[in-house]
Structure 1
Amino acid sequence: MLTATQLYNAVTRTGSNFASSVATEPAVKQQTNYFLANIGSVTSAKQLVNNSKLYNYVMNAFGLGDELNAKALITKVLEGGTGSGSFAASLNDPRYSALAAAFNFNENGTATTQSETTQQTTVSNFYEQTVENNVGQQNQGAQMALYFKRMASQITSPYSILGDQTLLKVFETAFNLPTTFSLGNVDTEAKTVGQLLDISKLQDPTYLQKFIERFTASYDAQNPMGGNSSPPTVAMLVSQPSISQSLLLSIANLKLGGS
């Protein structure tokens, strides 16, 4: 089994190839075709939430598959817009902010779902979620590293990390913090996060890469046998469409020096 460092490097080096392979998987292709054919006719947040196929696709695309039953909350997120005073922002979880930004019914009204950018962003996210899920079958550390990399652009404060259990686990592991870290005063925890990690620099690819390297190295040291227990916010992805076994084998056989 590859280490988290090896698998993360292999996937990020050839990520576009994996995304392309995911797109051709029958289950993924079927769900994506349905989404693209029907999402443009949705004119409100409530209509989106009440269409189970579209709703499930969107929720899983934004990493919210564990909140499928929270329809009232999601409706409020979709109708609340974006910005520091929005309902999505108050949840201190970058997944909700990303969803609200993509499906901003507050600002764009009935034309929200007709945006090509919104549609393509959702599809791209769905592919990435599927790749991450299947990478997690090989090594959960690599999956968490990919998730942090993808969510980095949505991390705006220490509270963004504290509000997402997977991001928090990555942070705790990178700095060898005890699991009891998140049980203290939230403002004290936020101060610690800000002292150890420069949130503003996460938009810098070099800084972000160094942090992820720190995490995967620490994860590998703590989990010499691969540590394949599911992190909290990605466990729900098990039900996602899977990549074929041949693709999983190709990931496992990649070498750091090339394929």
Structure 2
Amino acid sequence: MTFQPVIPFGGFVGWRFLERTMDAQKTAYDASPAIKRDQAYFRENIGKVTSAEALVADRRLLSVALGAFGLDDDINNRFFIQKVLADGVESDDALANKLADKSYLKFAEAFGFGGEDAPNSQKPDFADGILDAYKTRQFEIAVGNQNDDMRLVMNLTRELGELAGSDSSNNAKWYGVMGSEPLRTVFETTFGLPSSFAALDIDKQLEVFRDRAESVFGSGEVDQFAIPEKMEELTRLFLIRSQLANSSAAYSPASTALTLLQNAVY
């Protein structure tokens, strides 16, 4: 039986509880039989894979490989995934370099197919890195099944921290935020942006993100979130505003009318 994370509270209080118990809960989750079986199979067989075609042909291996990069939903998109992997990352025309979601770029880069050298799957320590990422992502999914806001914050802590500390320009970092659905969701919620915001011209979105960040956090730079206090402030504001939005939706006129109708029926 797979361990189910325990999150007794919502909002920032719930996040504090999860933070305090994270190590113990993740250890229990990693010990679940299904997770251990996935690890054993991947570790035993990934070294035999020398091409993108071979990887997508083995659904169990592919499931772990995709799961390590948060791409679980692409498990049935075999042709697309094979193209991403086979193109590699060295050419500007490679598919992974053209996609807005840079998870595909990291995925293709990690496996190293499509280049002149042997793929990274042949390296002795390759499985360790992929499995560490896989266990982290799968635990996040399990947390998200209990409370999706907590999953978003876990992703935020990992992904935004990495992005903020990178050598990219500030504009490139904001484009990275916009290209990541979980990060975009956190910032749009924190800044109170409508669902239609993503339909705006990309340069206009960049301008709005920078302006809102300046107004709320005192700086329009993504770099600021490498500072723990700034990351905590972002986390707190996101969770508060997400709770408020959910509470408003729960008590909207439409939901009140539905509740009255249901009570009338029963």
AA paired with 2:149? G
* Counterpart-to-counterpart distance in 2, 1:116 and 1:202: 35
CA contact (8 A) 1:81 1:106 kept: yes
> 2:73 corresponds to which residue?
66
Given candidates 92, 102, 113, the residue that maps to 2:100 is 92
Superposed, 1:166-245 pairs within 5 Å as 166-195=182-211, 196=213, 198-224=221-247
Q: AA paired with 2:155?
A: Y
Aligned residue identity for 2:42: F
- Structure 2, gaps ≥5 residues long: 1-7, 165-171, 214-219, 251-266
Name the aligned partner's letter for residue 62 of structure 2: Y
The match for 1:26 among 30, 33, 53 is 33
**CA-CA distance at 1:37 after TM superposition:** 0.7
For 2:27 and 2:122, locate their aligned partners in 1 and report how far apart those are by CA, in whole Å: 24
Alpha-carbon shift at residue 198 of structure 1 (Å): 2.3
SS of equivalent residue, structure 1 residue 43:
coil
Using a 3 Å threshold, how does the CA distance of structure 1 residues 17 and 80 change in structure 2: closer, same or farther?
A: farther
CA distance in 2, matches of 1:126, 1:164: 18
Write the letter of the residue equivalent to 2:100.
Answer: N
Aligned to 1:131: 139
Whether contact under 8 Å (1:60, 1:129) holds in the other structure is: yes
Cα drift, residue 23 of structure 1 = 1.7
- Give the deviation of 1:154 after TM superposition: 4.8
Q: Report SS of the residue matched to 1:59.
A: helix
Distance in 2 (CA, whole Å) between partners of 1:207 and 1:84 is 37
Give the TM-score of the pair, scaled to structure 1.
0.76
Q: Residue 55 of structure 1 is aligned with which of 59, 62, 77?
A: 62
Structure 1 residue 46 displacement after superposition? 1.6
Aligned mates of 2:183, 2:117 — CA distance in 1? 32
* Cα distance in 2 for residues equivalent to 1:91 and 1:53: 25
- Superposed CA deviations along residues 138-184 of structure 1, whole A, max 9, x for unmatched, are 22111111122222225752222222322211111111111111121
Amino acid at match of 1:10: F
Matched with 1:240 is none
Q: Which residue of 2 aligns with 1:252?
A: none
Alpha-carbon distance between aligned partners in 2 of 1:215 and 1:123, rounded to the nearest angstrom = 30
User: 1:93·1:163 contact (CA, 8 Å) conserved in 2?
Assistant: yes
What is the distance in 1 between the residues matched to 2:249 and 2:121? 41
CA contact (8 A) 1:40 1:114 kept: yes
**Distance (whole Å) between structure 1 residues aligned to residue 225 and residue 126 of structure 2:** 24
1:83 and 1:6 map into 2 onto residues whose CA distance is 45
1:112 is matched with which residue?
A: 120
Residues in 2 aligned to 1:114 and 1:42: alpha-carbon distance in whole angstroms: 8
The CA RMSD measured in Å over matched residues stands at 2.7
What residue identity is the alignment partner of 2:138?
Answer: T
**Distance in 2 of aligned mates of 1:74 and 1:103:** 12
Paired residues of 1:158 and 1:191 also in contact (CA < 8 A): no
- Matched residues in 2 for 1:187 and 1:143: separation? 28
Between Structure 1 and Structure 2, how many residues are aligned?
Answer: 227
**Alignment correspondent of 1:151:** 159
Distance 1:198 1:99 in 2: 27
Q: Deviations over 1:89-145 (max 9, x none)?
A: 321213212212321224574341133553222212221222212222322111111
The correspondence for 2:12, drawn from 5, 13, 36, is 5
> Is the CA contact (8 Å cut-off) linking 2:143 and 2:151 kept in structure 1?
yes
